[in-house]
A and B are shown apart, each in its own frame.
Chain A
């Protein structure tokens, strides 16, 4: 009798437990994927499309039910994480989250390690390792531990040194205090110079690496494309000497500065070329035709003005008044030799691009 009743009691307790657990369990066809580091749950089950088609409160209720089920599963997982009481036994219950597993792209590329300084290279070569120095030094005079340098250093304040010995081979008339001060100034200046040189080297290494030489979204400017094409041409084993050229590309050796430096012909050299040039000059002066091609010059000027006006209109929002230098650029006639024209022509767009922009 008693045994039967005990069994009944146990069965009833079992029922109650199951009932409680049923309120927090959710049945799903496919298991959800969890990324607890991001508090993320991914449900692959196709949602009941039929129920969600009709607009209105029914759809809201269905969405809400779906959300409730998914949230219940996510919270159940979170509650299974190792938890502790933060800030002592009375504090709030805090769960330790694992590392986020979902791979998301970075904001910026990972930092490049800075290149070693000249001293670091030398030390690595020679195998010199850094010796750790103690923070404090025993000062015999003051009979206590003083810092190695700085305020109240061991060995007294160097500015108050009242004695400067004349070293063995030095001039007796020389001012030793002045010499010490001068040498300190020189040392400081040399250290500063080396530090700046190291910084410049690191900065140069960081900025000149063409990790993505072209703009990734495909909006390349003409200069960028030209630069990249030039670099690509020179990147062959014979440094671009035997690369086939496009029909309109000028045949000249690739210059490292990319055409920024002006090149002048030597003063005394090619007598025949000089003679030819002078004769051509005389011929042009004698001929009745005007050297200046008016139409071309006017067109060029108009185009330049239009470009400047458009640029100024675009910049009007950000600045007051035009801050550009208008270059009086007069075009040369087509009769002159091609090489000379290329040497002496200045780019028309340089006037607008060199003007400073105000910070927005």
Chain B
């Protein structure tokens, strides 16, 4: 880690841009994922990694060689890879007799492991096995989580957060409605998690909202949760902290009521109501006779002819 901890001063503009991309920012880049094979990865696990890579392209890196590490025992090797390739999400696949078809999904904070959850693959249907048309690469998927387990159980809640982080894709301000083609559906039932991917077909219905038909496409996994390594509460809270600059600025002195009316508030200085400029009503003007009655000892002015 010494080599990576050394501060490198960039000598070219390209190197400077490269370093600027990697430093912490207010609004962060899309998270990259690294897909790693363990020392004893079998065919199933390799296929899973390849399919997930296809789904997550171009925000993923697939390592071709096998890496003999055990993430749950020693995280330094994972952290080294994360620092090298600037990836904060990882998926590690391995297989042994005790834990067959093992998949460890995890994320990093500041190049240190934050959360890791080990999942076992019970059934896997690959992209190649399903002979339907696929959607283009890099489509932002719609994510749906079904099942009350995802709310009730703490580990499932973290798993849900991890999966959203993993499959979310880039954050966009607007989206083309006809391009909503891909949906990932996660169901938690009976201690198992079913992940299915469907291609969305928008059919004409009478009204504006189209009718949805789904077509099975893409990788589908039956997962079961094994070990977990979750971050402590305070570290998790630290990672969730957003800088103040990102908070949306509240507009002061504007309020809305239930009916949708917008109210504004203006703050005025104290006014002397006697000296206010109001509309002139000629009929209410003081007559010279009345004026002389008010003024004491002042000679009356000559009255103007009306």
CA distance A125 to B134 in the complex (A): 64
In the complex, whether A285 has a CB less than 8 A from a CB of chain B is no
| Cβ-neighbour of A107 out of B29, B144, B194, B210 (below 8 A) | B29
CB <8 Å contact, B84 and A68:
no
In the complex, whether B273 has a CB less than 8 A from a CB of chain A is no
- Residues from chain A with Cβ under 8 Å of B147 in the complex: 43, 46-47
In the complex, whether A248 has a CB less than 8 A from a CB of chain B is no
CA distance A86 to B112 in the complex (A): 42
Given A38-B168, A41-B142, A66-B187: A103 in contact with B207 (beta carbons within 8 A): no
Query: How many residue-residue contacts, CB under 8 A, span A and B?
Result: 211
Given A23-B206, A72-B211, A78-B180: A40 in contact with B143 (beta carbons within 8 A): yes
A123: shortest Cβ distance to chain B, in Å? 23
In the complex, whether A277 has a CB less than 8 A from a CB of chain B is no
- Residues from chain B with Cβ under 8 Å of A97 in the complex: 172-175
Q: Kindly name the residue among B76, B200, B248 whose own CB sees the greatest number of chain A CB atoms within 10 A.
A: B200
A21: shortest Cβ distance to chain B, in Å? 6
Given A42-B145, A49-B190, A104-B165: A111 in contact with B24 (beta carbons within 8 A): yes
In the complex, whether A70 has a CB less than 8 A from a CB of chain B is yes
- Residues from chain B with Cβ under 8 Å of A52 in the complex: 187, 189-190, 194
In the complex, whether B37 has a CB less than 8 A from a CB of chain A is no
- Residues from chain B with Cβ under 8 Å of A105 in the complex: 107, 109, 114, 161, 165, 236, 239-240
In the complex, whether A109 has a CB less than 8 A from a CB of chain B is yes
CB <8 Å contact, B3 and A359:
yes
CB <8 Å contact, A16 and B206:
yes
CB <8 Å contact, B164 and A38:
yes
Given A216-B231, A216-B235: A23 in contact with B174 (beta carbons within 8 A): no
- Residues from chain A with Cβ under 8 Å of B194 in the complex: 52, 63
- Residues from chain B with Cβ under 8 Å of A96 in the complex: 173-174
The closest CB in chain A to the CB of B172 belongs to A97
CB <8 Å contact, B176 and A94:
yes
In the complex, whether A309 has a CB less than 8 A from a CB of chain B is no
- Residues from chain B with Cβ under 8 Å of A102 in the complex: 161, 164
- Residues from chain B with Cβ under 8 Å of A83 in the complex: 177
CB <8 Å contact, B207 and A357:
no
- Residues from chain A with Cβ under 8 Å of B198 in the complex: 64, 67, 71
CB <8 Å contact, A93 and B110:
no
Interface string of B108-152 (1 = CB under 8 A from A): 111111100000000000000000000000001111111110110
CA distance A79 to B207 in the complex (A): 11
| Cβ-neighbour of B143 out of A16, A21, A41, A203 (below 8 A) | A41
| Cβ-neighbour of B28 out of A38, A43, A107 (below 8 A) | A107
In the complex, whether B286 has a CB less than 8 A from a CB of chain A is no
- Residues from chain B with Cβ under 8 Å of A68 in the complex: 212-214
Given A46-B148, A47-B147, A67-B198: A360 in contact with B80 (beta carbons within 8 A): yes
Residues of B15-39 whose CB lies within 8 A of A: 23-26, 28-29, 31
Question: Residues of B within 8 Å of A, CB-based: how many?
Answer: 82
- Residues from chain A with Cβ under 8 Å of B210 in the complex: 24, 75, 79
Residues of A213-272 whose CB lies within 8 A of B: 215-217, 219
In the complex, whether A302 has a CB less than 8 A from a CB of chain B is no
Interface of B (DSSP majority class): mixed
Q: Kindly name the residue among B140, B183, B198, B208 whose own CB sees the greatest number of chain A CB atoms within 10 A.
A: B183
- Residues from chain A with Cβ under 8 Å of B110 in the complex: 108-109
Given A46-B148, A68-B213, A360-B80: A110 in contact with B26 (beta carbons within 8 A): yes
In the complex, whether B7 has a CB less than 8 A from a CB of chain A is yes
Interface string of A37-80 (1 = CB under 8 A from B): 11111111111010011000000100110111011101110110
CB <8 Å contact, B200 and A71:
yes
CB <8 Å contact, B25 and A24:
no
- Residues from chain B with Cβ under 8 Å of A79 in the complex: 177, 208-210
Residues of B188-207 whose CB lies within 8 A of A: 189-190, 194, 196, 198, 200, 202, 205-207
CB <8 Å contact, A106 and B240:
yes
| Cβ-neighbour of B112 out of A40, A53, A67, A216 (below 8 A) | A216
- Residues from chain A with Cβ under 8 Å of B238 in the complex: 109
CB <8 Å contact, A43 and B146:
yes
Interface string of A120-163 (1 = CB under 8 A from B): 00000000000000000000000000000000000000000000
Interface string of B31-64 (1 = CB under 8 A from A): 1000000000000000000000000000000000
Residues of A312-360 whose CB lies within 8 A of B: 357, 359-360
In the complex, whether A19 has a CB less than 8 A from a CB of chain B is yes
CA distance A325 to B168 in the complex (A): 49
- Residues from chain B with Cβ under 8 Å of A38 in the complex: 143, 164, 168, 171
In the complex, whether A292 has a CB less than 8 A from a CB of chain B is no
CA distance A68 to B144 in the complex (A): 10
- Residues from chain A with Cβ under 8 Å of B231 in the complex: 216
The closest CB in chain A to the CB of B222 belongs to A55
| Cβ-neighbour of A66 out of B25, B141, B146, B240 (below 8 A) | B146
The closest CB in chain B to the CB of A51 belongs to B189
B173: shortest Cβ distance to chain A, in Å? 6
B87: shortest Cβ distance to chain A, in Å? 9
In the complex, whether A92 has a CB less than 8 A from a CB of chain B is yes
B223: shortest Cβ distance to chain A, in Å? 14
The 8 A-B pairs of least Cβ separation, nearest first, read A20-B206, A105-B239, A110-B243, A108-B24, A67-B185, A43-B146, A107-B88, A39-B142
A sample of 6 inter-chain contacts (CB < 8 A) reads: A24-B205, A93-B176, A94-B176, A97-B174, A107-B88, A108-B110
Q: A interface vs B, CB < 8 Å?
A: 16-17, 19-21, 23-24, 37-47, 49, 52-53, 60, 63-64, 66-68, 70-72, 74-76, 78-79, 83, 86, 92-97, 99-100, 102-111, 203, 212, 215-217, 219, 357, 359-360
